[in-house]
Amino acid sequence: MYAFVTVSDMKRLAIIVDLESGETKLTIKVRPEFVDASVTERAPCRPFGITWSRSELFIANNRQLLVFDRHFNYKGMLREQLQVNVHQLAYYVEHVWAVSPWTNSLIGVSPNSNVNPVEFDLLSSTIRPYIERNATVTSDKWHFNSLLWADGFLYVAAHAFGPFSFINQYDATTFELVNVLRNAGHSIHGLASHNGELFWISTKTNEIRSDSGHRRLLLRPGFGRGFAMTDDYFIIATSTLRPRSERHKGDSWIDIVDRRDGTILNSVCLPNSGSVNDLRLLDMYDYSHRIDPLWEKVTD
């Protein structure tokens, strides 16, 4: 089982990790053009969300949407500028959708240059053309950070700065808000859906939770962000707790957790990685991504 992981050490954009052996199989290094000196509120290079289409892989890095081919060769960046502090990505209906906490919206960008970008306002449930602008942290109302399309719905998780995290559920076709799952935990991250049950990480309480009442205490302390789920496993990235200014330092871990009893079946340490920002599985179907694996079959 292989994971594609975005890290914060300012030297590497992302790594591919063999979750069985613990080996790093590939490293994507930070290029000079990935560092934006105009970003002052966050790290000038902050790779976060990961997703892919049938032909390309995408990584969010503040205002940049970086494009790679399916062999991880860098192709360039899309012309549209996103926002500082963009979080998770998901590819859906020919668009790369980016969660933008500072605009309280999803920004949808098409790799097809003939298709104009759009923006989904998460507060008013409206779609409009995306207008590039410089949002600020003071406009971040609920700190939306994660998204998932599943079974005809769009789910968006709100960290909400504390103990009242919630998850909005929208109709995937009309974008109408159909439900709000309240009291979802504390400072939540990540979403996964399997057999009609929705799962996520309650980061501050160090739990996996679900909308059917599932609560599983995670055995590793730290900052849980980076979530994947298969039929048998939860895959959880946990980073050392540090103040924001020091999140490019320290170690992180990826734990493979048995979904049946919560035991840790294997752990991989990522030394000097800084905080893990996001994680996707490359070779297994991931219920937190709901997209066919990038690698249909792994070969040596």
**Predicted confidence (pLDDT) per residue in 180-190, tens digit:** 999 999 999 99
Instruction: Tell me how many domains the chain contains.
Output: 1
pLDDT of residue 99: 98
pTM of structure: 0.95
**58 phi and psi angles, rounded to 5 deg:** -125, 140
Q: Is position 300 within any domain?
A: no
Distance (Å, rounded) from C-alpha 34 to C-alpha 56?
Answer: 18
In a domain, 299, yes or no: no
Would you say 63 and 82 are in contact if contact means Cβ atoms under 8 Å apart? yes
For the segment 158-204, what is each residue's pLDDT rounded down to a tens digit? 999 988 999 999 999 999 999 999 999 999 999 999 999 999 999 99
Within a domain: residue 14?
yes
* Cα–Cα distance for residue pair 113/103, rounded to 1 Å: 23
The whole-angstrom separation of Cα 13 and Cα 5 is: 9
Tell me which residue of 35, 31, 65, 33 sits closest to 48, measured CA to CA: 65
* The token pair that represents 160 in the structure block: 């909400």
Q: Please indicate, yes or no, if residue 292 is contained in any of the structural domains.
A: no
Residue 88: inside a domain, yes or no? yes
pLDDT at residue 294 greater than cutoff 90? yes
Q: Which of 259, 263, 264 is nearest to 234 (CA)?
A: 259
Question: Which of the 8 DSSP states describes residue 164?
Answer: T
